[in-house]
A and B are shown apart, each in its own frame.
Chain A
Amino acid sequence: DIVMTQSPDSLTVSLGERATINCKSSQSVLYGSNNKNYLVWYQQKSGQPPRLLIYWASTRASGVPDRFTGSGSGTDFTLTISSLQVEDVAVYYCQHYYKTPFTFGGGTKVEIK
């Protein structure tokens, strides 16, 4: 199985400041034939299912504000929230879909300072 490791476990950021979440996969999720990274980011608020934010490591899903940016390739990925808003308080997860079993990171909790 590909192990997804997120850091930090939690993050406290002031309103309007940048939040950076890291995700590392135990093997590359870059598929050579199409040069795509098989990685997504989700946001999960309390009592709700995960919400898709980013797929192909850097493509924003429909309706996702442009303050959310995904970057990275191979085994190292980053989700950046450029200017943290109150509504961004949530747990963020990365997940690979390179092969089965699809696996998720342990989550990063983002709070307001």
Chain B
Amino acid sequence: QVQLQESGPGLVKPSETLSLTCTVSGGSISGYYWSWIRQSPGKGLEWIAYISSSGSTDYNPSLKSRVTITVDTPKNQFSLKLRSVTAADTAVYYCARHFAAGYSSGWYEYWGRGTLVAVSS
């Protein structure tokens, strides 16, 4: 059974960079696309970006200027960096696996449990 686990600081100061890592277990990161999604009371569920195991990426235009997604295939991990954060970036951040192997269309059967990141000084 595939499992995903987000890790990273729970508190980030305004204007700094939010960094999260998703570790995949119970299956290989290879052959699939992987996304970051966040959920906040104000904006609901928001897709942030995806990456393939070979490094192909796509970003939400609303966040593209501040986001970088990377993959580390040997470690079975992928990561998110969100720069210049503000209080509006406070949310639960989820990592998730795209449903079908080799398919960039994003619908998700496997999700991490989510990690709450608060932006505050």
Contact = CB atoms under 8 A, between A and B. Distances in A.
Interface of B: 44-47, 50, 58, 60-62, 94, 96, 99, 105-109, 111-114
7 contacts: A49-B111, A52-B109, A55-B99, A100-B58, A100-B106, A102-B47, A102-B106
Contact of A101 (B44, B61, B105, B107): B61
Contacts of A97: 105-107
Contacts, number: 50
Nearest to A99: B105
Using C-beta atoms within 8 Å of the partner chain, give the interface range for chain A.
20 to 34
A50 interface: yes
Contacts of A1: 61
A97 B96 CA distance: 14
Interface string A75-107: 000000000000000000101011011111111
Contacts of B44: 93, 104-107
Nearest to A40: B107
Contacts of A106: 44
